[in-house]
Amino acid sequence: MHIPDGFLAAPTWTSTWLFSIAGISVCLKKVTMVLEDRIIPLMGVMAAFIFAAQMLNFPVAGGTSGHLLGGALAAVLLGPYAGAVVIAIVLIVQCLVFQDGGLTALGANIFNISFIGAGGGYIIYRCIARIKNDRRGVIIGAAVAAWLSVVIASFACAVELALSGTSPFRIVVPAMLGVHILIGIGEAVITTGVVSFVLKVRPDLIYCPKKEECQ
Amino acid sequence: MHHCYIDRHSGIDSFIHRLDPRIKLLSLITFLLFVMFTAPDSYIAYFLYGALIIALIALSQLPVTFVLKRASVIILFVAFIAVFIPFTKKGEVCAASYAGALQPTVCYGGWHMFFAILLRACLSVLCTVVFMSSTTFSDFLKALERLKFPSLVIMILSFMYRYIFVIQDELMQMWRAKESRSVGGAKKLHVRALANMIGVLFIRSYEKAESVYISMCSRGFAGGIQTMNHLKLKTADVFFFLIIVAALSGIRVLKG
C-alpha cells in the first residue's frame, strides 16, 4: 500500500503532505502533553518494535505469506496520537532507508496508513470497547479495528489514485479493496492474538483514555 | 542473525559518499520535484534525467545489483495499478481488440500516462537509492538537524535507529527458539505463537523504553541531545548542487 513516487498528481501529494505535517504536529503535541520528555525514547523504541514486528511473516492460505502492518495494534496499545506518531515514524524510515513508498508520496502514505488506518482504527476500537466494556469487548474491538484499518487505509489510497487520474474509480477501488479485505483478515488474527496476550500479562500497558473506565 | 542492514553500502569511499548530507538531501528533493513536474509526453526529458541518474549511480560506486534490488519495491505497485492505465484513458484510439464483451481499447493518452508514471516512479526511486544509500543514517539525521527540521522528530528517529537492531535481535532469538522447538503442528498454533511472540516483544520494548528514559534522566537529560557537528560545506559540495540544478533546469528548458 506504500504508494511510490509518480503515481499521484501534484495537487494530491502536496495537499496530503500539508495535511500530514499538520496532523503529525498535532499528534506530537498531544503526546508530549501526556508523556513529556518520555515521548522520545518511547516513540523511538515503539517504532523500532513495529518495524521489527512487520518483518515476521506468517503463512496465509495458498502458500503465500503475509505480515503484520501494525496500525491498529499501535493505536490500541499506545492510543490514537502516539500510535499515529509511531506509524508515521516507521513510514518515514521505510521511505528514506528502504525506498518503500516515495518521498513525494510520503505525505499520502502517512495520511492513509497513519491517520486513516491507525487513527480510524482507534475510533472503531473505542466504539466497540465502550459498548462492551470488558475483556471480550477489547478483543473484539481490536479485531474489527485491525481488519477495518487495513481496508479503509487501502480505500483512501485507492481514492487518492483515482483523484490523481492514475486509475479510474471503478477499477482501482475494487482492486485495492479486494486484496486488502484478505490482507486484513491476517492483520486481525495477529492483532487479536497480541492484544489478548498483553491483556493477560500486562493489562496496565494497554492505553486507556480515562483511568476509571479500565478498572 | 539475518538483519536488514540500514547502512550497508554507506561506507564506500566515493565522490557521492563524500558529499555533504545536506547537499544530498537538497539535491534529492530538487531532482524529485523536477521529475514530478515534467510533462507526461516529454520522453527526451525523462531520458536525460535517466542519463543523469545513471551517471550519479556510476559516481557513487554502489553495487548495481543492490540499487536495482532496492528499486524493485515499486514493481508490485506497477503490476497492480499501472498496468490498467493504458486501457482506461479516453482519447484517440491507437489499438483496439475484440475480446468478448470487454473490448479493451488502448489510447495514445493512456500510453503516455502509463510511461510517464512508470518513468517517474523508476527515476525517483533510483535517485532516492543513490542519495540515501550513500549517506549513513546518523549523518542524514545531522543534516536534518542543520536544516532546522523539528528536533523532536529527529530525536525519535535517532532512537528508532538505535533500537531497531536491538529489538530485531530479540525477535530473531525468539523466532529461532520457536523454530527449533516446533516442527509441523497445526497452523493455528503457529499463528498463536507468533502473536504471543509479538506480545512479549511489545512488553519488553515498552520496559526497555522506560528504563532508557530513566537512565537518560540520571545522566542529566534536559530535553535535547547535543551532537558534535562535523558537517562542513566544501566548495565541491556547492558546485555539485549548482551543477545538478543547472543540469535539471537545462533539461527542463530544453524539453519542458
- Contacts of B106 by beta carbon, 8 Å cutoff, 6+ apart: B86, B87, B93, B94, B95, B96
Q: Exposed, middle or buried, A19 (CB in 10 Å: 0-12/13-18/19+)?
A: middle
pLDDT digits (tens, 9 = 90+) for B131-167: 999 998 888 999 998 888 888 899 999 999 989 989 9
Q: For chain B, what is the domain count?
A: 2
**Which residues in chain A are closer than 8 Å to B35, comparing Cβ atoms?**
5-6
Q: pLDDT tens digits, residue range A76-120?
A: 999 999 999 999 999 999 898 888 888 999 999 999 999 999 999
Mean pLDDT lowest among A40-49, B46-55, B66-75, B82-91 = B82-91
Domain ranges of chain A: 10-213
User: Is B226 within a domain?
Assistant: no
Residue B21 belongs to domain spanning? 15-135+232-255
Q: Do residues A160 and A145 touch, judged by C-beta distance below 8 A? A: no
User: pLDDT tens digits for A19-73?
Assistant: 999 999 999 999 888 888 888 899 999 999 999 888 877 666 665 666 788 889 9
User: B177 and B78: one domain?
Assistant: no
Q: Select from A8, A213, A20, A2 the least CA-distant residue to A119.
A: A20
Alpha helices in B134-186 (DSSP H): 137-146, 151-181
User: Å from A212 to nearest chain B CA?
Assistant: 22
B96: cell is 483496439
A140: confidence class by pLDDT, cuts 50, 70, 90: very high
Q: Same structural domain for residues B55 and B106?
A: yes
- B207 plus B164 within the same structural domain: yes
Residue B2 has pLDDT above 70, yes or no: no
Asked whether residue B101 falls in the same domain as residue B170, the answer is no
Q: pLDDT tens, B23-33?
A: 999 999 999 99
CB of A47 within 8 Å of any CB in chain B? yes
| Paired residues of B95 in beta bridges | B106
Task: Determine, for residues B88 and A59 on separate chains, whether the beta-carbon distance falls below 8 Å.
Answer: no
**pLDDT interval class at B83 (50, 70, 90):** confident
Please compute the mean of the pLDDT values over residues B198-203 and round it to a whole number: 93
* Whether residue B185 is found in the same domain as residue B99: no
Q: Is position B193 within any domain?
A: yes
Q: Give the whole-number percent of chain B exceeding pLDDT 90.
A: 30
Residues B164 and B239 in one domain: no
Q: Confirm whether B223 is domain-assigned.
A: no
Q: Does B240 reside within a domain? A: yes
Chain B contact for A43, CB < 8 A?
A: yes
- DSSP one-letter string for chain A: --PPTTSS-HHHHHHHHHHHHHHHHHHHHHHHHHHGGGHHHHHHHHHHHHHHHTT-EEE-GGG-EEE---HHHHHHHH-HHHHHHHHHHHHHHHHHHH--S-STTHHHHIIIIIIIIIIHHHHHHHHHHHHS-SHHHHHHHHHHHHHHHHHHHHHHHHHHHHHTTSS-HHHHHHHHHHHHHHHHHHHHHHHHHHHHHHHHH-GGGS--SSGGG--
Residues B206 and B161 in one domain: yes
The pLDDT value given to residue A214: 58
Substitution target in A45, A54, A58, A65 with the highest count of B β-carbons within 10 Å is A45
The verdict on A99 touching B (C-beta cutoff 8 Å) is yes
A10-213 is classed in which CATH architecture?
Orthogonal Bundle (1.10)
Does residue B6 belong to any structural domain of this protein? no
- Is B203 inside any structural domain? yes
Is residue B111, in this structure, part of any structural domain at all? yes
A144 in contact with chain B, both atoms CB, cutoff 8 A: no
Indicate whether B69 belongs to any domain: yes
Q: Are residues B125 and B213 both part of a single domain? A: no
Alpha-carbon gap: B238 to the closest alpha carbon of chain A (Å)? 23
Q: Do B162 and B103 share a structural domain? A: no
Of A41, A56, A195, the CB nearest to B159: A41
Is A42 close to B163, i.e. CB distance below 8 A?
Answer: no
Residue of chain B minimizing CA distance to A172: B81
The shortest C-alpha distance from A132 to chain B (Å) reads: 23
Q: Which of A46, A73, A99 sits opposite B209 (nearest CB)?
A: A46
Query: Are B104 and B180 contained in the same domain?
Result: no
CA distances from A185 to A179, B95, B193 (A): 11, 40, 17
- Assess whether B42 and B114 both reside in one domain: yes
With contact defined as beta carbons under 8 Å apart, do B208 and A90 qualify? no
Are B131 and B43 in a shared domain? yes
